[in-house]
Amino acid sequence: MSVSVVVPCYRSAGILPRLVERLNAVLPGIDPIHEIILVVDSTDATWDAARDLAAEHPAVQAIRMARNYGQHNALIAGIRAANCARIITMDDDLQHPPEELPKLVAALTDDLDVVYAVAESEEHGPLRNLTSWGAKNLVMGRTMGVPNADVLGALRIFRTFLRAGLDQVSGPHVSVDIALSWTTTRVGSVVVRMDQRTEGRSGFTLRSLTKHAVNMILGYSTKPLRLVTYLGFLIGVCGVLLTMRLIWLYFTGDTKVAGFTTLASLVTIFSSAQMIGIGVLGEYLGRVHAHGMGRPTYVIRDHVGHASVYEMSL
């Protein structure tokens, strides 16, 4: 079956020609009908490189976002523009070797709808790996209940009909992996080689990864609200026990004059609980407000490439 390769591009003008060259060498062996969709999510010379590649190669489309919306928003733009029966998503930094794509395609057997690539050995540093592990296993796995969270990654292949699960996705906070988990449980993985980044450095930092994890929790889960409820219940129990102790001391004659420390501690505890609850509720209300304003997931500024050449029934 035909295959579309979606590549979100961020500050990768010097890498894109090599990436497209290697993809053009690999994709014909996978399927004669294929396309490469470069989604430019930065405001540097990356668009010029992508546009030139689209003009030079008939199988290449180039999409320029109106501004930087983020990797997953760019992915959704490319996924919606895809015309083939299978979609591969990969990074633009050559850490995902195009030569490994046949393994990914072969792993998408009839009993699977999504296949993630798992690295033979981690290509990132210890801190980045630990953060990534926490985001996948603790946030997406345990907190959000996403199946097979331990194999999630940016290099993936899935059947294009799953794209229907993205039809209602809107707003600035999106996650392709969570959307895919809503559409199917037929998920597999395959071990592939990952290379080191050849130039530049990743745009993902500890801060950005932490922000992404928080966005996923608050955007796709109600468990923080439950935690606030549990915290309020726990503090309430502590208050009842404290009251019972004060009553006991009163009837036994051991009551002493309450000091400033006791009063300040109680005020601090209850104020903390209130502030946590208000903060979490404020996050949810802010997101509801953002969706109500109609803030877009993305806006396409330019689209270069003749997709009609590759249109087919899926």
| Tens of pLDDT, residues 49-105 | 999 999 999 999 999 999 998 888 999 999 999 999 999 999 999 999 999 999 999
Please report, for the chain, the start and end positions of each structural domain, with discontinuous segments joined by +.
3-205+297-307, 223-292
Beta sheet of 114-119, edge-to-edge order: 187-192, 114-119, 156-159, 86-89, 3-9, 34-40, 60-65, 300-304
Confidence at residue 312, expressed as pLDDT on a 0 to 100 scale: 46
Distance CA 210, CA 275 (A): 21
Whole-structure pTM value: 0.74
Look at residues 62, 67, 116 and name the one whose alpha carbon lies nearest to residue 89: 116
Look at residues 219, 220, 236 and name the one whose alpha carbon lies nearest to residue 228: 236
Q: In CATH, what is the architecture of 3-205+297-307?
A: Alpha-Beta Complex (3.90)
108-157: pLDDT as tens digits: 999 999 999 998 876 555 545 544 544 454 445 455 555 666 678 889 99
258-295: pLDDT as tens digits: 554 566 567 767 777 787 787 778 777 767 766 664 55
Measured in whole angstroms, the distance separating CA 306 from the mean position of its chain's CA atoms is 29
Q: Are 84 and 187 in contact (CB under 8 A)?
A: no
The vertex-212 CA angle with 137 and 233, nearest 5°, equals 70
151-202: pLDDT as tens digits: 788 899 999 999 988 887 777 777 888 888 888 889 999 999 998 766 655 5
CB neighbourhood size of 66 (10 A): 12
Distance CA 27, CA 34 (A): 7
Confidence at residue 258, expressed as pLDDT on a 0 to 100 scale: 54
